[in-house]
Amino acid sequence: MTEQTLTPAAERLLAAASALFYAHGIRAVGVDAIAEAAGTTKKTLYDRFGSKDALVTLYLERRARRWQEFLEEEVARHEAGRDRLLAVFDALHRWQDGQTRGCAFVNAYAEVGGTSHPALAVIRAERDWMRRRFTELATEAGAERPREVGATVHLLYEGALVASTVGSDPGALRTAREAAASLVG
């Protein structure tokens, strides 16, 4: 089932699952809780999605698409160059505002990494997209070695995500942004 073909009941299930997975974790949330929160039955969940794994995968696909759309809107507010690359960190700060559990992809990987879960492909695709986007932005910024700068800034971004997700460093995004700024002059 693709997101474009969701029935109203499937949309309620996906919305409920998304909120519950983010708030409590993928493994902690059972299909009974999702069905109850959506006002449907467990049978409806299985009829619409086939499995909890498929629902998890669609949750992450939707979250990735929404993040990417949000990011592109935020980046587009800046003229091409260094400011567009640094705007990613500002956008992430705004995106995470009020979200108490940090990065949904870091959290999901912590739960399903090392398995054959179908959501792993979505998590990896989102990370690959971010790495490519940083390389594109480094190129636009006139970085001497845009591929290396993009990869390094991506590592700063990923490190900041993990540090802010586990709550050990509330200033991680600011620190990563400052380090990225030094790389692109």
95-126 pLDDT, tens per residue?
988 777 889 999 999 999 889 999 999 999 99
Class of the CATH domain delimited by 1-50:
mainly alpha
Write out pLDDT tens, residues 3-38: 568 999 999 999 999 999 999 999 999 999 999 999
Domains 1-50 and 67-184 share a fold: no
Model pTM?
0.92
The pLDDT value recorded for residue 174 is 94
Other beta carbons within 10 angstroms of residue 14's beta carbon come to: 22
Mean pLDDT, to the nearest integer, of 143-149?
95
Sorted by where each begins, the domain ranges of the chain are 1-50, 67-184
Q: Up-side HSE of residue 139: CA atoms within 13 Å toward CB?
A: 7
Backbone angles phi, psi at 133, to 5 degrees: -65, -40
The CA distance from 76 to 63, in Å, is 20
Mean pLDDT of the chain: 93
Is domain 67-184 classified as CATH 1.10.357.10?
Answer: yes
Query: Any idea what DSSP says for residue 51?
Result: S
More confident residue, 119 or 168: 119
Task: Tell me 5's DSSP state.
Answer: G
pLDDT score, position 166: 80
